[in-house]
Amino acid sequence: MKLDMLPALALAAFVATAVGLVGAVAVLAVARRRPTLAAVLGPIVVIAALAMGVATSVQTMLLPDAAIAAMLWLLAATVPAALAIGLVLAVRTHRLGAERAAALAARERDAAAEARRREVVAWISHDLRTPLAAVRALAEAGEDGIAVPADALRGILGENARMTAMVDDLLAFSRLHAPGVRLDRVPTDVGDVVSDVLASMRPIAVAASVGLAGEVQGDVVVAADAGLVARAVENLVVNAIRHTPAGGEVRVDVAADTDSTVAITVVDGCGGIAAGDLERVFEPGWRGTPARTPGPGGGTGTGLSIVQRVAELHGGVVGVENVEGGCRFLMRLPSA
């Protein structure tokens, strides 16, 4: 290398560095809001820095005008090709990265769903021991003559109903969290669904000395799986009745919340939920007490998580908040 080339090399390095730094700052600023555009601008900055450095330094060299023009024309011919290749590689690399991130997220969701199903199976296996032990004790008491056979039989039937409900919850939870679950969507009048649920739940409310009321306002038709929506509303109402003391009231209201959503509101008289527990009420298996074994009339702890999953599958949401004397569960579903 000749010493008389040093000024040109220094100038080329300086110009390329300056252009590169300015371009890098611009790309980083864009990357915070639009990563795809930043991926496209990256190669442009590199090629621009190289081209500007070479073009500027050539002008300082003691070369014939014809040689300088030839070098600049060669640079002009190669830059577009290099830029096109860089852009294609940047876009393809970004797309592959996005696809990989989506695949990893999908695997993580599937793994989380499988972990939740395993946990629910473990919880229900634990909870089933209580009714099974009760059935055995009642059967032995009836056999030994300690209990009246009719009373023992009624107790056994009651425990059998509890076990059946647990198994139903397990099957529903597992099916709703299975990969690729599909809905049988049809135009569904949510008011009719809620009316049917209230009619079926009224004997339970009467037995618990809890009032049950409701009202439907406006056009409340949604494109939904009617059976799943009914299951979700039933779980909300059963949960409300279970936690409302005798003499209290559970109210279920349905209304067109906006032009695009229908709101189902269930208000109970539970007295409220601790602020730190509000975010956990939809966790599968969580009951708000350290004991996992449910008390009389208790469930598996999957009822509200099933409600949340049904809302998610329909593109809706469900939440809970404390109100005076109790809590309010609000489920929103997209209108038909």
Determine the Cα–Cα distance for residues 85 and 61; give it in Å rounded to an integer. 30
User: Percent of the chain having pLDDT more than 90?
Assistant: 26
Per-residue pLDDT at 266: 95
Question: Among the ranges 120-124, 275-279, 310-314, which has the highest mean pLDDT value?
Answer: 310-314
Paired strand residues for 267: 251, 328
Per-residue pLDDT at 9: 67
Query: Strands, E, within the chain: which ranges?
Result: 186-189, 211-217, 221-224, 249-256, 261-267, 317-323, 326-334
Q: Does domain 183-336 have CATH number 3.30.565.10?
A: yes
Contact 42, 24 (CB under 8 A): no
Question: Among the ranges 114-123, 214-223, 308-317, which has the highest mean pLDDT value?
Answer: 308-317
Per-residue pLDDT at 219: 78
Contact 297, 158 (CB under 8 A): no
Residue 178 has pLDDT above 80, yes or no: no
- Using a CB cutoff of 8 Å and minimum separation of 24, what contacts does 125-132 make? 126/292, 126/293, 127/166, 127/292, 127/293, 127/294, 127/300, 128/163, 128/166, 129/293, 130/293, 130/294, 131/159, 131/160, 131/162, 131/163, 131/166, 132/159, 132/163
Determine the Cα–Cα distance for residues 78 and 72; give it in Å rounded to an integer. 10
| Model confidence pLDDT, tens digit, residues 87-118 | 666 677 667 777 888 888 888 877 876 776 67
Q: CB under 8 Å to 216, separation ≥6 — which residues? A: 190, 191, 194, 195, 253, 254, 255
Per-residue pLDDT at 36: 67
State CA 256 to chain mean position distance.
Answer: 24
Of the pLDDT bands very low, low, confident and very high (cuts 50, 70, 90), residue 253 is: very high
Residue 141 has pLDDT above 80, yes or no: yes
Residue 10 has pLDDT above 50, yes or no: yes
What is the mean predicted confidence (pLDDT) over 320-333?
A: 93
| Model confidence pLDDT, tens digit, residues 46-93 | 777 767 777 776 666 655 666 666 666 666 666 676 666 666 666 776
Per-residue pLDDT at 258: 72
Which is it for strands 326-334 and 249-256: parallel, antiparallel or unpaired? unpaired
Q: What is the largest CA-CA distance in the chain?
A: 120
Q: By C-alpha distance, which of 236, 266, 249 is closest to 209?
A: 249
* More confident call, 244 vs 275: 244
Residue 275 has pLDDT above 90, yes or no: no
The pTM (predicted TM-score) of the whole model is 0.58
Question: Among the ranges 77-81, 126-130, 299-303, which has the highest mean pLDDT value?
Answer: 126-130
User: Percent of the chain having pLDDT more than 70?
Assistant: 76
Determine the Cα–Cα distance for residues 47 and 241; give it in Å rounded to an integer. 69
Residue 34 has pLDDT above 90, yes or no: no
